């Protein structure tokens, strides 16, 4: 097993209601995605309305698969906030924590990709909404 890169070590806890961190020997999607059915139901939403305010469209890839929860790291926000993402290809929407990053594309959690019904190895266009 490869060690975790330094930039992913000791990351801050963003949400107290996060699912547990996967076991250190986890290698499959099912082992890495520790979200429960209740977590998934809470994150699944109906399509956002226009009043929610689209922040823009981003291209996202899989982020750290060992970081639990429903989140998107994106340059479209300057501070952590609650929001939603909607897949351009599937139309599905998920409630997420939006986390700021500088430059480049966005990174999305494994649990979010699963609920959006997107392949974990692809690049995906997501519409990002603030709450």
pTM: 0.74
Distance CA 71, CA 83 (A): 9
Percent of the chain with pLDDT over 70: 80
The separation between the first and the last C-alpha atoms of the chain, rounded to the nearest angstrom, is: 39
CA distance 123 to 97: 19
Distance separating alpha carbons of residues 84 and 48, to the nearest angstrom: 8
Task: Quote the pLDDT of residue 13.
Answer: 43
Q: What whole-number distance in Å separates Cα of residue 67 and Cα of residue 56?
A: 24
pLDDT tier for residue 38 given thresholds of 50, 70 and 90: confident
pLDDT at 125 over 50: yes
Residues whose CB is less than 8 angstroms from the CB of residue 26 and which lie 6 or more positions away in sequence, other chains included:
32, 66
């Amino acid at each position: 097993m490869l060690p975790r890169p330094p930039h992913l070590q000791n990351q801050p806890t963003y949400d107290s209601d996060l699912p547990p961190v996967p076991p250190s020997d986890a290698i499959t999607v099912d082992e890495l995605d520790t979200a429960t059915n209740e977590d998934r139901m809470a994150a699944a939403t109906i399509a956002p309305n226009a009043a929610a305010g689209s922040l823009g469209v981003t291209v996202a890839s899989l982020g750290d698969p060992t970081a639990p929860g429903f989140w998107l790291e994106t340059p479209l926000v300057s501070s952590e906030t609650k929001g939603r993402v909607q897949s351009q290809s599937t139309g599905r929407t998920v409630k997420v924590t939006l986390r700021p990053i500088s430059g480049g594309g966005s990174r999305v959690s494994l649990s979010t990709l699963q609920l959006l019904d997107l392949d974990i190895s692809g690049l995906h266009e997501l519409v990002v909404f603030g709450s």
